[in-house]
A and B are shown apart, each in its own frame.
Chain A
Amino acid sequence: MITELTQQTTLPKHLLDFQSWSRKHIEDLFETAKLMQEVLSRPVKKVPALTGFTVATVFFENSTRTRLSFELAARRMSADVLSFSAATSSLAKGESYKDTLLTLDAMGIDAYVIRTDAAGVPYQAVRWLGKPIINAGDGWRAHPTQALLDAFSLLERLGSLEGRKIAIVGDILHSRVARSNAELLPMLGAEVWLCGPATLLPSGLPKVTMTTHLHEALRDADAVMALRLQRERMDKGLLPSLPEYVAGYQITQERLGWAKPGAPLLHPGPMNRDVELEGTLADAAQSLIERQVANGQAVRMAVLYHLLVGRKSA
């Protein structure tokens, strides 16, 4: 099965955001992800595709689900995984990002999965290292694999995203998930609406519609995504209070009714129940939240495969 995958078009060397990726690249990647889903459905969920490759997960910022998802994805394809966490690393002792990465590189790494709390580090890493770099979230900038798994999950449910209205609700200004979805979903034909309090809404994202009115965003939406509300925003004066946010922007059963019947509900996690979403909605039939996590693994397997093997054979 895996040998069928070697007929790829030339892919970008890195996954930093979607600027150098085409719709065709994304569609090819999703075809691979479907094959990876099949691998994950087997009793023995392991293939030798990346035998001999070493993938480093370099997390300068804490994360649980993204990191585990990437590491499991790499191991399912028999890659060796070097796991690096900043909280317990030399970085905390004052070592620079560059020196940290160069130290790892001396250990013979083939690809890097990098997360940081500040925009730009994966882009800097491209300048420092000659290896494929996967951005696993950099500050407010981008979280491309999250957007890929969101789009993949939506495609699974909706069939096609052409002309579909997708509403993303919450703290858009500080959300890398919103930015990456605002890049990717329009590439796949979707109409993206971003909705949140005016103080948490940027004005410069192309190809999307912005609104502060939840009803406008959700009306006849084909899918709804709630984003995590970061409570520290209140300390910074960007939000008056939690009840104020809940009153204006929480996705409730009633408000979800403004969307098309059965419209899937997504959340990138981690989730604050009863803040972004009415608690019970997360477990409702139209919730895709667990499906997103499952698909995340297949999508990340596809990304690693394409950047390490697919590209090599292209």
Chain B
Amino acid sequence: MQGEILLKNVRLVDASGDRGPADVLIGEGKILALDGGNAQRTLDASGLILCPGFFDPHAHLREPGQEVKEDLETGLTAAARGGYTDVVSMPNTTPPVDHPEVVAALIKKARQIGQARLHPAAALTQGQEGKLLTEAKLLKEAGAVMLTDDGKTNEDAGVLALGLTYAASWGLPVSVHAEDAGLRRGGVMNEGPLSFRLGLPGNPSAAEAARIARDLEIVRYVLERQTQDARHDPRLHIQHLSTARGLQLIRQAKAEGLPVTTEVGPHHLTLTHERLESLDPVYKVAPPLRTQADLEALIQGLLDGSIDCIGTDHAPHTQAEKEQDLIRAPFGIPSLEVAFPLLYTELYLKRGFPLATLIERFTDGPRRVLGFRPIHLEEGHEASLTLLDPKSERAVDPAGFASKAKFSPWAGWRLSGWPVMTWVEGREVFVHPSFAVGA
């Protein structure tokens, strides 16, 4: 299915806006032209949207060690189906990704699989134990794009300060799961009147805000101590923001000029803690689903750029694990395959969220956070692209996921804006089966 392809009359949408129809010629891994040309295959793409490939800064692909939940092949295939050309994998695997050899091996295997591109995040500390730093230089050379202890929440502020300082030398951002373990106290849902009534241990929004406040203070401290010849600023990326108060702190820090970025997950933009009334572990996620006021604030933060990007926090688990009770069931929702249509439908169609801004948060936003060059829909740019069908409406069917995780809190939701084709450097890595590409 390779060779040149001409997308006739396709609508271009990227960070610069909705640019209307064009005849896009793709070949040699690049966008060859926007005004047509000769191709082996032509596709009438009227009514379809072409945008830069999505980039997920936060997915759990579970390899090595937890392949029963997901592996690189299923995870990256799920990503390509979801319109993603690039995925950052989290290092909280078994064992954790904390050696350059492991990073290199993962990238090599992902290339062989040939779906979405893999960019591993590596652990910030050896074994994610929060004590000794990992080899940031060697990890970077092996292909790691970020350092994080992820769900292990960097209890020792001194170690985080050292990690931010050292990672900066090699231009690596450090990302943090911002939750204070003491305040969280084993909570499984948002703490408040509802958690008290349901009899479930609560996780207060203060657990997130208190940790963000601490981590921002660490960034200030690291910046103050930075030597004159430092080539890079320390960069702190706060994962999966869930609270209005956390957003407020980040907004203030950005206004102050601190090098901090953040992401939000599709679940925190579309679901609230009332879903837990069903006592169904499918809604159990960390940080937990919050209130409607938090959700509204997060949408506003995504709109005004205080939140840089969408990160799926794709977190696959086995059915049996997720069907345990709410205390024992693991945290997490698989979302690579539904993130875009979900937000296209719930934010753009239902709330009028600007489409170009939404697409930016899936494409350039995360690339900027990770230090990647943006992809523009211009001649000569790499053809890592996503084609979307804004018209056809389809229900979410977890049984049909490429991901090994076959559950979803959005099962049955009728969504539009599904990806129908994904190219990585001009290679077609996904074509929707109902979508015949003419010769």
Contact = CB atoms under 8 A, between A and B. Distances in A.
Contact size class for B? 20 to 34
Contacts of B278: 123
Interface in B288-326: 320, 323-326
B199 A204 contact: no
A96 B324 contact: yes
B327 A117 contact: yes
A204 B189 CA distance: 14
B328 interface: yes
Interface string A118-157: 1111011001000000000011111000000000000000
Contact of A120 (B194, B196, B197, B279): B279
Interface in A189-222: 202-206
B150 to A, nearest CB: 25
Contacts of A124: 279-281, 323, 325
Query: Which has the most chain B C-beta neighbours within 10 Å: A124, A141, A206?
Result: A124
Given A98-B320, A123-B278, A124-B280, A116 B196 contact: no
A210 to B, nearest CB: 10
Nearest to A236: B185
A179 B192 contact: no
B320 A141 contact: no
Contact of A118 (B320, B323, B327): B327
A81 interface: no
A99 interface: yes
Contact of B199 (A127, A142, A203, A206): A142
Given A96-B323, A119-B327, A139-B327, A205 B199 contact: no
A206 B325 contact: no
B205 interface: no
B195 interface: yes
B325 A120 contact: yes
A120 B194 CA distance: 14
Contacts of A179: 197, 199
A120 B326 contact: yes
A271 interface: no
Contacts of B280: 120, 123-124, 127
Contacts of A202: 193, 196-197
A140 B200 contact: yes
B42 to A, nearest CB: 49
B281 A120 contact: yes
Contacts of A127: 280
Given A99-B320, A119-B279, A142-B199, A204 B325 contact: no
Given A123-B278, A123-B279, A204 B196 contact: yes
Contacts of B325: 97, 116, 118-121, 124, 139
A234 B399 CA distance: 46
B198 interface: yes
Interface of B: 192-201, 278-281, 320, 323-328
9 contacts: A119-B327, A124-B280, A124-B325, A138-B199, A140-B199, A140-B201, A202-B196, A205-B193, A205-B196
Given A96-B323, A119-B199, A124-B323, 15 more contacts: A98-B320, A99-B320, A118-B325, A118-B327, A119-B198, A119-B200, A139-B199, A141-B279, A173-B196, A179-B199, A203-B193, A204-B195, A204-B196, A205-B193, A206-B193
